[in-house]
Each structure stands twice: as C-alpha cells, then as structure tokens.
Amino acid sequence: GKDGYRHYMEKELHEHPLVIGQTLQRMIDPATRKVTLPDLPFDLATVPRAVITACGSAFYAGMVGRYWLEEIARLPVDIDVASEMRYRNPPLTPGSLGLLISQSGETADTLAALRSLRADAIHILSVLNVEHSTMARESDVILGTVAGPEISVASTKAFTAQLTILACLTIATARARGKLDPLGEEELVAALMDLPSRAAEVFNQGAAIRQMASIVAEARDVLYLGRGSMFPVAMEGALKLKEISYIHAEAYAAGEMKHGPISLIDRTVPIVASVPSTPLFDKTLSNLQEAKARGGRLLVFTDTEGAERVSAIAEQVVVLPRVHDFVAPILQTIPVQMLAYEVAVLKGTDVDQPRNLAKSVTVE
C-alpha cells in the first residue's frame, strides 16, 4: 500500500535515502570502504571505450554516468537513446564496454540496442532494477539497483539508485585505469556514504518546494537549466514535469540558452535552475543573470554556499545540503522530482498513472 502517502510517487520519493543506502551497501565493502564489483568477464583497465544507451529517465542517468566516466575514469564514452542507437549502426570498437540502463529490464528499444551491441562484440553490463528480467538474461553481467518495486509510472527512486551504481562503477573503473589513488577513492566513497543522510534532509524543504510548485503550476511553459552533470538533472526535472503535470518543459545546458531559447524568456516562463556550488557555479550564475535581465523569474535549487550568491536575483531559492561535487547530481535530482510531484498534485492529475503512459514500454 501507500503507507499513508497520497500517491505511490510520494512514497517512492521518500524512499530515496533508503534506496541509495541499500545500493551502496551492495557496492561498497564495509571493512575496506572500497567499491567491489562482481567478477567481470572483461577488464575495466583495458576496455577501449564505453557506449551507453537507455530510454527516458534511465538515459539521463546514463548522461550523468558519461560525465563521471570521462572526467574521473578518463574513459571515452559514446551515448545515445536506445531508439536511435539500435538503428544508427555506429562504427564501434569491439571489446568496448556496453552500459545498458533500465529499471524494468524489459524496454523494447533498450533490449534491441543490447542485442545489436552484443552482435558487434561489445561486452554488456546492464544496470537493472528487475534482476530477473529479459535484459538480465541477455547481459554478460548485471549490477542491480536495490530500489525495490517501483509502482509509480514516473520513475523516482530507481533513477537515484542507477546514479549510485554508475558512481560506484566510475570509481572502480578509475581505479582499474590508474586514474584514482587510494586517497582519491576514499574521498569519493565518503561522499557517497554521506548521501543517505543528506538526502533525508532534502525533505525538510517540502514547504519551499510546494511554494515553488504554486508558481510552476500557473505556467504553460517552463525552462530547466543546468551545466555539466546538472544538465541531465535539468532534463530529468523537465521530463518529470511534462509526464505528470502535462505542463510543457524544456531543459537546456545553461550555456546554450543564448543560442536560441533566451528569446522565449518573459514573466510567463519560469526558469528552474539546478545550481549547486560546484566549479561551474559562476558560469551558471552569469547565465541566470542574463535571464533575469530579460524579465525571467528564477526558481533556484542550490546549497547553503550557493544560496547567498543567488538570492539577490532569484524569486525563490530552495536551499539543499552542501555535498561533495561528485554526488551533487544525485542529491539535486530529489528536489526536481519533488517539484514535479507537487505541481501535479496542484493540477489534480492522475499522478501515479499519467495519461497515455505505461510503466514498462515493451513495444517499439
């Protein structure tokens, strides 16, 4: 049942801290505090490239994984949505790491992409929530997100669990490739272990998020902005809003705004920005100043450090706990999903069963 929550989505949102913790327990050895992977039938030290593919939210998790694997493990990554990947016939390097991501393990396009990668001699590592799914049977190895059943059609906790797995995989890959020394690994593992408690603190911001929702619920169009690993977080926020509130939303890499979407900005198009105080903070801040100068209403998710610097231009700020830059996209996902949820509640839509959507898309 819903355990007293209004919808399964609300219940599942509240499971973020638990699910991140359970997934970490499976991936990190408590004695050594090192990431431990199951035996792999290939060597992470020598895979020439990674190719990531998935659909919808799982694809956005893959995009965050791309930023991490490239920046931290120095592994070149190709990524595309599965519906494109399966027909693109790209020139792949045999022996590459194929990273497939799916909650259900049954998504038709992702499964077809898996089969076509396999046929091209790519090693298949799938990040799956349903561990007895079709994709599980057809993969060389799976990493299970320990999210439990997800009932709400809109994915929430499975997404942060996918990010948690991808973060651990990045650490193991970086170590294998000689890009992360023991101290570096200790620092990143500590950042991950800190997450369940910090994630629980996000729910203290419920009132501020509901206030933000009352502004968004009046809009016809909403722009989501983020840079670096916050760009896929913005995409996740925009998708979730469209999906359950039926309000049109677009996500842009903040630096792309001036190449087109800035012409949309006026009082009627709220801008939701995910801007933790990472090294990209100042760059995003200047994009927000440009939007403000054109009459944009800024609704900002930041942290205790960023709040002081953005409060002068923002109409509303939701202040989140400060976490290590590495795990910021995981933490910042929670409030954008909560915002979409609260907007949908205000709009009175069928939150758990949005129109035209099915939980698992098993036809092309």
Is 205 a binding residue for ligand F6R by CB under 6 A? The answer is: no
Is 58 a binding residue for ligand F6R by CB under 6 A? The answer is: yes
Is 102 a binding residue for ligand F6R by CB under 6 A? The answer is: yes
Is 361 a binding residue for ligand F6R by CB under 6 A? The answer is: yes
Is 353 a binding residue for ligand F6R by CB under 6 A? The answer is: no
HSE toward the beta carbon, residue 356, CA cutoff 13 A:
5
Among 22, 83, 96, 107, interactor with ligand F6R by CB under 6 A: 107
Is 110 a binding residue for ligand F6R by CB under 6 A? The answer is: yes
The 50-54 sheet, strands edge to edge? 77-81, 50-54, 97-102, 123-128, 141-144
DSSP string, 77-143: EEEEEHHHHHHH-----TTPEEEEEESSS--HHHHHHHHHHHHTT-EEEEEESSTTSHHHHTSSEEE
Interacting span for ligand F6R (CB under 6 A) from 30-38, 49-57, 172-180, 253-261: 49-57
Is 284 a binding residue for ligand F6R by CB under 6 A? The answer is: no
- In this complex, which beta carbon is closest to ligand F6R, that of residue 12 or of residue 185? 12
Is 264 a binding residue for ligand F6R by CB under 6 A? The answer is: no
Is 103 a binding residue for ligand F6R by CB under 6 A? The answer is: yes
Among 57, 96, 277, 278, interactor with ligand F6R by CB under 6 A: 57
- In this complex, which beta carbon is closest to ligand F6R, that of residue 7 or of residue 175? 7
Cα four-point dihedral sign 331, 147, 83, 111: positive
Q: How far apart are CA 330 and CA 317, in angstroms?
A: 19
Cα four-point dihedral sign 29, 127, 240, 294: positive
Interacting span for ligand F6R (CB under 6 A) from 8-16, 52-60, 179-187, 258-266: 52-60
What character string, x for contact with ligand F6R (CB under 6 A) and - otherwise, covers 145-164?
---------xx---------
Residue ranges in the chain assigned as alpha helix (H): 8-14, 16-27, 56-71, 82-88, 108-119, 134-137, 157-176, 182-202, 206-216, 230-245, 281-293, 304-310, 328-347
- What amino acid occupies position 56? G
- In this complex, which beta carbon is closest to ligand F6R, that of residue 250 or of residue 315? 250
- In this complex, which beta carbon is closest to ligand F6R, that of residue 323 or of residue 338? 338
The residues facing 77 across adjacent strands are 50
Query: Any catalytic annotation for residue 359?
Result: yes
∠ CA 40-42-47, rounded to 5°? 130
- What amino acid occupies position 293? A
CA-based nearest residue to 18, from 203, 180, 168: 203
Q: Label residues 187-222 b or e (16+ Cβ within 10 Å = b).
A: ebbebbbebbebbbebeebeeebbebbebbbebeeb
Segment 224-263, which members bind ligand F6R (CB under 6 A)? 239-240, 243
Q: How far is the CB of 308 from ligand F6R (least distance, A)?
A: 33
Interacting span for ligand F6R (CB under 6 A) from 21-29, 51-59, 67-75, 258-266: 51-59
Residue whose tokens read 């298949």: 124
Interacting span for ligand F6R (CB under 6 A) from 96-104, 182-190, 226-234, 299-307: 96-104
Is 56 a binding residue for ligand F6R by CB under 6 A? The answer is: yes
**Residues annotated catalytic, as ranges:** 359
- Kindly list the residues in this chain that would bind ligand F6R in the complex (CB under 6 A): 55-58, 102-104, 107, 110, 154-155, 239-240, 243, 360-361
